[in-house]
Copies of this chain bind each other. A is one copy, B any other.
Amino acid sequence: MTGSGVTYAQGFTAAGVACGIKKKGGLDLAVVKCDVRARAAGIFTRNIVKGHSLRLARKNVRNGYAQLVVINSGCANACLGPRGDADALEMARLAANRFGVRQGDVLPGSTGVIGVPLPLDKIAAGLDEAILSRSGGADAARAIMTTDTVPKEAQADVTIGGRTVRIGGMAKGSGMIHPNMATLISVLTTDAAISVSALRQALREAAAVSYNRISVDGDTSVCDKVLILASGLAGNDVIEPGTEEYARFTAALKDVCIRLAKMLAADGEGATKLLTIQVKNARSARDAHLIASAIAKSPLCKTAAFGNDANWGRLLTAAGYSGARFNPEKVDIWIGSVKVCENGGGLPFDEEAALRELKQREVTYTLDFADGTASDTMWTCDFSLDYVKINADYRT
């Protein structure tokens, strides 16, 4: 039997239960367990303020092994001083006891409102209630949601040394803007046999082209994290860095992560469409990334997208203040397939055709700088009235 998302790969079971942390009800506690002690790696927020659950997960994954992931939504367990650290430890202890794993092999996570203590009694009751199963991936994906409107799961197969290796994952968070509530959390699982160093490197490479390409404010919340567990049950020879097998595995992992990242961007708070910002022929990779990031973060570009306004001047302006070096008189810009700017100057373009492009659920802006060979891609969403409504009274 095959599950979905985090239970797609062999050796993983999961559950999602409603234990009453979320005020409005709904699933709010996710557990993912590996049948064996798994190789594990994680990437954690660079925010100087770090959630207490996240800090413990970072500590516990440092030795390269883990067996259980437990994540609650509805409460971030952040900015609570020593109590927050103690609560994270207690959450890990409860989960370890309930599911018979070593406490140091538990990776806890929390997402939700900052500054409110974890309701440990509810979490204990929820853990008691949680029944892990191969089909539990879908519930787990729902249980980590905060302002997400749909759960996000993806999976892929890759043949390595004649064996089918499976990779799956789930994610939550807003593609719009991350910090705080819109924490990005992703849990990935695989049955690949892979060394810890290869797993760490593959996760870094995959995150660089996926989760790090939707961080539209360059912001990281205090609880952002991406975890991966590898059960090794696929039976392939252990993957080591720098090998062809490593390349195949990493390509498949990137595929899963990019699909999850695009789902996050498309489900950004209040989003009505997914925006792809494509930068071509920039002077350097750094310049390309600065430009793509500036556009992906610009409220003016994003509100124009919401209004179906072919306002390419805002794209060029954002590129101009991005800090990137380029020659403004060599820039060409397309909205979808409609060229709207050539050599930095406006073209008389078909407004109707541009409007048709802008009304799609997915819109691509392409900027060609004719200044080098570097490229970059970012995903974001438009900035709608609903975004403001959602965020004006999140806490209350």
> Hey, which bits of chain A sit against chain B, CB under 8 A?
46-50, 76, 78-81, 113-116, 177, 179-182, 217-222, 298-300, 303-304, 306-307, 309-314, 316-321, 324-326, 328-329, 341, 343-346, 383-385, 387-389, 391-396
Asked whether B391 lies within 8 Å of A388 as measured between CB atoms, the reply is no
Shortest C-beta distance, A108 to chain B (Å), equals: 19
Q: A49-B320, A179-B318, A346-B115 are in contact. Are A304 and B79 (CB under 8 A)?
A: no
Shortest C-beta distance, A321 to chain B (Å), equals: 5
The oligomer's copy count stands at 2
What 4 A-B pairs have minimum CB-CB distances, sorted nearest first?
Answer: A307-B392, A114-B313, A115-B346, A49-B320
* B residues less than 8 Å from A47 (CB atoms): 317, 320-321
Besides the known contacts A48-B319, A76-B313, A307-B391, 12 further A-B residue pairs in the complex with CB atoms under 8 A apart = A46-B321, A48-B325, A114-B311, A115-B312, A179-B318, A219-B298, A219-B317, A307-B392, A307-B396, A309-B392, A311-B394, A383-B388
* B residues less than 8 Å from A79 (CB atoms): 313, 316, 328, 341, 344-346
Asked whether B318 lies within 8 Å of A388 as measured between CB atoms, the reply is no
Asked whether B180 lies within 8 Å of A313 as measured between CB atoms, the reply is yes
Q: Bound state CA distance, A62 and B385, in angstroms?
A: 44
* B residues less than 8 Å from A313 (CB atoms): 76, 78-79, 113-115, 180, 395
Chain B residue at minimum C-beta to C-beta distance from A306: B392
* B residues less than 8 Å from A299 (CB atoms): 177, 217, 299, 387, 391
Chain B residue at minimum C-beta to C-beta distance from A322: B48
Secondary structure call for the A interface: loop
Chain B residue at minimum C-beta to C-beta distance from A325: B48
Of A50, A220, A346, most B-chain CB atoms within 10 Å: A346
Q: Bound state CA distance, A396 and B115, in angstroms?
A: 44
* B residues less than 8 Å from A316 (CB atoms): 49, 79, 114
Q: Bound state CA distance, A156 and B335, in angstroms?
A: 48
Q: A116-B346, A341-B115 are in contact. Are A320 and B48 (CB under 8 A)?
A: yes
Q: Bound state CA distance, A220 and B320, in angstroms?
A: 9
Q: A329-B81, A346-B80, A346-B115 are in contact. Are A179 and B321 (CB under 8 A)?
A: yes
* B residues less than 8 Å from A324 (CB atoms): 48
* B residues less than 8 Å from A220 (CB atoms): 321
Of A177, A316, A328, most B-chain CB atoms within 10 Å: A316
- Specify which of B49, B179, B396 is in contact with A344 (CB 8 Å cutoff): B49
Q: A76-B313, A113-B313 are in contact. Are A321 and B219 (CB under 8 A)?
A: yes
Shortest C-beta distance, A347 to chain B (Å), equals: 9
Chain B residue at minimum C-beta to C-beta distance from A49: B320
Q: A49-B328, A317-B179 are in contact. Are A391 and B78 (CB under 8 A)?
A: no
Asked whether B345 lies within 8 Å of A395 as measured between CB atoms, the reply is no
Shortest C-beta distance, A81 to chain B (Å), equals: 4
* B residues less than 8 Å from A114 (CB atoms): 311, 313-314, 316-317, 346
